[in-house]
Structure 1
Amino acid sequence: MSLQIVAGTANRALADSVGEVLGNELAPVTVERFPDGELRPAVDGLQGADVYVVQPTGPPVNDHVVELLLLVDACRRAGAARITTVVPYFGYARQDRRGRAGQAIGVRVVAEALASAGTWHLIVVDPHAVALEAICAVGVEMLTAVPLLARELGAGLLGERVRDGAVVVAPDLGAVRLAEHYGALLSRPVAVVRKTRLSGTRVVAEELVGDVRDRPVVIVDDMISTGGTIEAAAEAVVRDGAAPEIVVAATHGLFVEAAVERLNRAGIGRVLVTDTLAQPATPAMPLGVCSVAPMLADAIGRLHRDEPLDDLLART
């Protein structure tokens, strides 16, 4: 089977980079947009191919999810032998349980829709729902960008700050294992913030467990959405006497609503994310972007050759 890469419109630059690493030109794709908002993708030249559809489902999440489903269906109808969806950022992953009776479990709905559309395999990067593999009816490869981000944190001038007595901070209890992973890679201790979420945008940090006084701090999380969690954590470490110019690292940078203003207001000296989601060429804050294209290309190449991905997988 030939290897073919199909790009959605959510992050074409990332798909181009993946294709360059693999030495593959992207398959021809057109996405017709109707005046009422409907989409109609079309693909060509996929008969009998091993197809990888690259499409993160970040904001606007619903548009990108529907486009991905239609792209998968188009590939199936074009005769693809097998289809792997490469979803670097998996929208709806935070909806992995009910908060009360009558709520939907969005991650299950999207996963089932992908399988129904024709997905044979799914590749994601640092998904918020660690149970995604158990939820999905198809095989899931959960990659992690933590080693990539940790290497960047430990390099150059930023690395000097990180190595100079820095503490890795989990902004909530859900990020403790992630912070421990960063801590192990950077050989740094870990502190934990206990938070209470008041709403989708408002978070209160109630307690910091660990010593950050006069020490550089690296706050880590899987994603930055509205910035509320990071802002609350930054306030907590400053209140406990941390050194100024806090560093933040996260795999996915959504930066929705007033996230940039929040991070600037919180005194964040540097934010480091990956390109699982498209980032602005001229960000309004000190932003560094690490590319996951080589990792995704490696994973795609191994799956195409039926080779294991063990050393690329996220810890769960």
Structure 2
Amino acid sequence: MDLTVFSGTANRPLGESLARALGRPLGRCNLERFPDGEQHVELLEDVRGRNVCLIQPTVPPVGENLLELLLMADACWRGGAARLMAVLPYFGYARQDRRTGSGEALGGKLMADLLERGHFERLVAVNLHTASLEGCFAMPLEHLNAGTLLAEAVRPYAGPGAVVVSPDLGAVKLAERYARQLGLPLAIVHKSRTSGSEVNVRGLVGEVRGLRPIIVDDLISTAGTIAATAEAVREAGCADDITVVATHTLLVGPAVERLAQVPIRRLISTDSVVPRQGLPFHHEVVGLAPLLADAICRVTSNRA
């Protein structure tokens, strides 16, 4: 497989893990910032005629990391790369997939349009917040699901006496998949969002009394939803052993403080975002490199 892998600065450890999983050294690339704040990209590898994979999650600051990815893509394209593939373990703006008012921007579609300027032949993403966002992309998208890996990671805590909890109606299908794979019952929290970081719990469907909750979601940003869900199941009499499972853990703003105030025993997530250190609870990280490498190998072998 004639492939060169470059990593941006948003998640260098995952880029290195992906290169190892593919059995290749990580491509050398000089990424620096000028005194005026402009980014500068210079490839230190010859990419002419080669397949190139660029890995860069668009985590905060989203605009800066997206621009870095596009600058790397432009350098590869101008350097004569045969094909370009972008791997976005976390895709920012995926929650802006629809408008609720006439004055709102459609951020998810705009991100897709900007990526089209990168001359990418194909994109790889993991657990988009909204699967329908795939229709916004002009190029093919490999939409990977890390749920199976995460469910297996949580299995040691999912024996008799556990229950899968969906923190809102939007996560019900995700929670149902976890419940089926783990053979557990399901409970659903009804919430209403009052702002971008605040939520109110309106009710709970299902039995959690005396059970160990496993709260599952695709994304933890400010942790308002997860904290409110943990409080709701605790008030409903659950066991004092709460597990939280999420694909992407941004943990921005008051997230860590909020989670520290509820009795969360452990957090299980992927490394789509660089894991935070010093959390006040156990954090188990599931590596995405094998999943990403398998998808890349399948795509590149089909080309041959």
Band the TM-score falls in, shorter-chain normalisation: over 0.9
2:37 equivalent in structure 1: 37
Count of residues in Structure 1 that have an aligned counterpart in Structure 2: 302
- Measured in 1, the distance between the counterparts of 2:116 and 2:127 equals 20
**Contact 1:2–1:48 (8 Å) recurs in 2:** no
SS of the aligned residue for 2:68 comes to helix
**Contact 1:260–1:285 (8 Å) recurs in 2:** no
5+ residue gaps, structure 2, are: none
1:292 equivalent in structure 2: 288
Deviations 1:178-234 (A, max 9, x none): 001111110111111110101111111110111111011000000110000001111
Q: How does 1:86-165 map to 2 (within 5 A)?
A: 86-154=87-155, 159=156, 161-165=157-161
Cα distance, 1:260 vs. partner?
0.8
Is 1:218 aligned with 2:219?
Answer: no
Cα distance, 1:284 vs. partner?
3.8
Cα distance, 1:266 vs. partner?
1.3
Q: How does 1:15-54 map to 2 (within 5 A)?
A: 15-43=15-43, 44-54=45-55
53-62 or 274-283, which deviates more: 274-283
Cα distance, 1:285 vs. partner?
2.9
Q: TM-score, normalised by structure 2?
A: 0.97
SS of the aligned residue for 1:131 comes to helix
5+ residue gaps, structure 1, are: 308-316
1:310 equivalent in structure 2: none
- Measured in 2, the distance between the counterparts of 1:74 and 1:205 equals 48
Is 1:204 aligned with 2:211?
Answer: no
- Measured in 2, the distance between the counterparts of 1:299 and 1:281 equals 29
1:166 equivalent in structure 2: 162
Distance 1:239 1:281, change over 3 A: closer
2:297 equivalent in structure 1: 301
- Measured in 1, the distance between the counterparts of 2:164 and 2:103 equals 38
80-89 or 127-136, which deviates more: 127-136
SS of the aligned residue for 2:131 comes to coil
**Contact 1:226–1:257 (8 Å) recurs in 2:** yes
1:259 equivalent in structure 2: 255
Is 1:271 aligned with 2:267?
Answer: yes
SS of the aligned residue for 1:306 comes to helix
1:77 equivalent in structure 2: 78
SS of the aligned residue for 2:58 comes to coil
- Measured in 1, the distance between the counterparts of 2:125 and 2:292 equals 9
- Measured in 2, the distance between the counterparts of 1:75 and 1:228 equals 40
SS of the aligned residue for 1:174 comes to helix
> Which runs of 4 or more aligned residues in structure 1 lie more than 4 Å from their structure 2 counterparts after TM superposition?
none
Is 1:233 aligned with 2:234?
Answer: no
Q: TM-score, normalised by structure 1?
A: 0.93
Deviations 1:73-128 (A, max 9, x none): 11111111111100000011111111211211111111111112211100000010
